[in-house]
Structure 1
Amino acid sequence: MIKIMLACSAGMSTSLLVSKMEEAAEKKGIEATIWAVSQDKAIPELPKADVLLIGPQMRFMKKKYEVEANKIGVPVDVIDPVAYGRVNGEAVLDKALELAEK
């Protein structure tokens, strides 16, 4: 079971991406809990996550999130803008799985 949190400005623009990622996980036979939060909820929710992915429009927050995430060993990265724009759930899921393995 992997727990993937997505953070964006208001938690709204990533909701469709969450659905697409869930579909991709199901097709791959991967148990995953995937959810989106607004930027102000990301740090409080961090202990529940195995991976934190940040919406491209929020890349400026990466260093702030990494400070907290490094304390508990949660990898953080920015979602690829092309995958984000195309709502490519499989590509974003693959990135999260890759990060979780490190």
Structure 2
Amino acid sequence: MKRIILACAAGMSTSMVVTRMEKEAAARGLNYQIYAIPEQELREELQNYAGEVAVVLLGPQVRFKLEENRKLTDSQRIPIAVIDTLAYGTLNGAKVLDQALTLIN
């Protein structure tokens, strides 16, 4: 199963986005493991699950880490982006899922 990782600072809001993304993915019949981790654990996560990660989305609060993390993801050809701020703030799981799927395809 392919993974969609949301990397963030603390994780409370991001966990709510994940829940909504999972519901939307299930409604669409998509089979992804969607979960949130602290941004500082991304390097280890990519090492542990090389080949399984489809996309990485950074929470808006850690947008300043995008270029640093792009170095990690580019070496594995994994797309990475910052989650749309409005979608994140309104907990719009469908829109965040669409963003992830656009990056994957």
TM-score normalised to structure 1 length: 0.93
Which residue of 33, 49, 53 corresponds with 2:53?
Answer: 49
Once the two structures are overlaid, the 10-residue window that deviates more, 70-79 or 36-45, is 36-45
The runs of 5 or more residues in structure 2 that have no matched partner are: none
Distance 1:13 1:44 in 2: 22
Alignment partner of 1:99 is 2:100? no
- One-letter code of the match for 1:64? E
TM-score normalised to structure 2 length: 0.91
The runs of 5 or more residues in structure 1 that have no matched partner are: none
* Shift of residue 42, structure 1, vs aligned partner: 1.1
Which residue of 71, 77, 81 corresponds with 2:85?
Answer: 81
* Shift of residue 82, structure 1, vs aligned partner: 0.2
* Shift of residue 6, structure 1, vs aligned partner: 0.2
Q: In the TM superposition, what are the counterparts of 1:9-28 in structure 2 within 5 Å?
A: 9-28=9-28
Matched residue count: 101
Residue deviations 1:7-30, cap 9 Å, x none? 000233310110000000011111
The aligned residue for residue 69 of structure 1 is 73
Asked if the contact 1:5–1:35 (Cα under 8 Å) also holds between the matched residues in 2, the reply is yes
Distance 1:21 1:2 in 2: 14
